[in-house]
Chain A
């Protein structure tokens, strides 16, 4: 089953080569590698979407002694998404890194970033993301997180100016503390179960019965993953650090890195700790606060990417909320909303990059609709999808989530549903604010400026993907339901991993 290793192999090799190649070859290799990666990911998705669970034992060590790479339907969906986002990011960066910066920092910052190894770092980031989606071993998950985080440290710090240093330092410190907690939890779980293979741990926990030590390990792991996905009290590192790197990297971070945290949360709570139901109400309450804080922050900030970073926090709040419900419909709604969130946030960040080219970071610059109507259309569609207005995919996702909430109409669930709806309206207000201040109105100071063709093309493509998700909702929701069915009962996963002949 060597197919499973390809999403890790391609970025690893190309990342290593990209450090040493000259500039022209760098661009070509990055695109080729991202394209091959997308192909491998789509192959895996196509096989897993038919219900198959793919397993590969690294170096042919049998489970549970070796490290397993596992791809079930949820992993397949996420790999497909990350393949698409990876390729689009690479293509977008080819033209966005040529643009001189027009505000705040030095004009040649983007060229410096490309020269200093942006493409290599992006490939390593992709490798870390793919490895954390595919792995079936807790310590390998830690290593994948570290690869991903160190690549993201590099991307944030690239360029070495004052803003990068300030935000980079805080980002690195908080993530190092979270990593230390993760490695402690991994060590404790090895001491308790004698194994780090997720399937084996799941089996041993099922046989062991309830034990406060198991709850402790589950809590530690949830602490790390909620910090990674920027849930309310632990998410304050995100809104200032995500707008710091170049716009292509910013879009990739917002689209995928928080979703890695949400995915690992789902995976550990459904596979390893399905009996730990006491954790769920705590995190559910926190996600209600996350959605509200994210939406309020999006209204408060008036620079493009800073407002969108808060909107990203709100969006991930919806995801984690759905994951905490514990019902199969809840998981299906979560996975569908995850697809929507990745594509919509990515498009919004790309639109923000284009808008920053036009008028700087602050979006208080009226009258752009007259000269850039298509940018206005793109923003309109993406903003509606973010806020959850019919008929976009955002609405379908939020409707499914709130329906899943009301399947069990307890006080907590009702309160969370109210918070979710209020947050949607607040996000709509934030989008209206941007629309009113940037696109609407008339101003004599605006006139036509030529935007880079590559950037515009990729932005258009990503908005078309959002529309495609809306039109293809039934296909997407079928896949989400299949994934939800698989993760609701962890027996199939455990058997596939432990019975696999190397």
Chain B
């Protein structure tokens, strides 16, 4: 048992890292969730491994440490919020770019040449000067 659960945590984190480097946005999000599961499992293991021992402090019999389980709950809730945010973000990215790929989030055009200044009423600099050259 002592080898199995840490090996499982390592497997989860490894899978998660592999998924984060994938091409589709949804796989990146799945990878992040996997890494979060692996991290939560590591916290769980730090409380001591036992079978059938409840995490309650006031018993006569054996019990496991409840504090790591409280820590995991906090981490799960935080992870749940950020995963929800990421999912909405990926839906919005799909709507904006029409594709599920991470490549669509990388600036294709050179961002250094975009400088359009456009207040037709009172520009302090005329547009030709503002766009300038690449010096």
Contact = CB atoms under 8 A, between A and B. Distances in A.
A358 B105 contact: no
A183 B39 contact: yes
A137 B40 CA distance: 19
A169 B89 contact: yes
A146 B78 contact: yes
B112 A302 contact: yes
Contacts of A303: 111-112, 115
Interface residues of B, number: 54
Contacts of A160: 92
Interface string A25-49: 0000000000000000000000000
Interface centre among A186, A188, A443, A448 (most CB of B within 10 A): A186
Nearest to B90: A169
Contact of B71 (A139, A168, A173, A176): A139
A155 B94 CA distance: 21
B125 interface: yes
A183 B75 contact: yes
B46 A191 contact: yes
Interface centre among A100, A142, A184, A302 (most CB of B within 10 A): A184
A143 B71 CA distance: 10
Interface string B102-118: 00011100011011111
Contacts of B45: 187, 191
Contacts of B126: 445
Contacts of A157: 85, 89
A190 interface: yes
Interface residues of A, number: 53
Interface string A131-174: 00000000100110010001001000100101001101110110
Nearest to B83: A176
Nearest to B133: A364
B42 A139 contact: no
Q: Is the interface of B mostly helix, strand, loop or mixed?
A: helix
A500 interface: no
B43 interface: yes
B47 interface: yes
Interface string A436-449: 01000001011111
Contacts of B119: 100, 102
B133 A187 contact: no
A360 interface: yes
Contacts of A142: 75
A176 B115 contact: no
B67 interface: yes
B132 interface: yes
Interface of A: 100, 102-104, 139, 142-143, 146, 150, 153, 157, 160, 162, 165-166, 168-170, 172-173, 176-177, 179-181, 183-184, 186-188, 190-192, 301-303, 358-362, 364-366, 368, 371, 437, 443, 445-449
26 contacts: A102-B118, A102-B119, A165-B93, A166-B105, A169-B25, A169-B89, A169-B93, A169-B105, A173-B20, A173-B86, A176-B32, A179-B78, A180-B35, A187-B71, A188-B42, A190-B43, A191-B47, A302-B112, A364-B129, A364-B130, A364-B132, A365-B129, A366-B129, A371-B124, A446-B125, A449-B123
Query: Which 8 residue pairs are nearest across A and B when measured between Cβ atoms?
Result: A191-B46, A187-B43, A364-B132, A360-B117, A362-B115, A445-B126, A449-B124, A359-B125
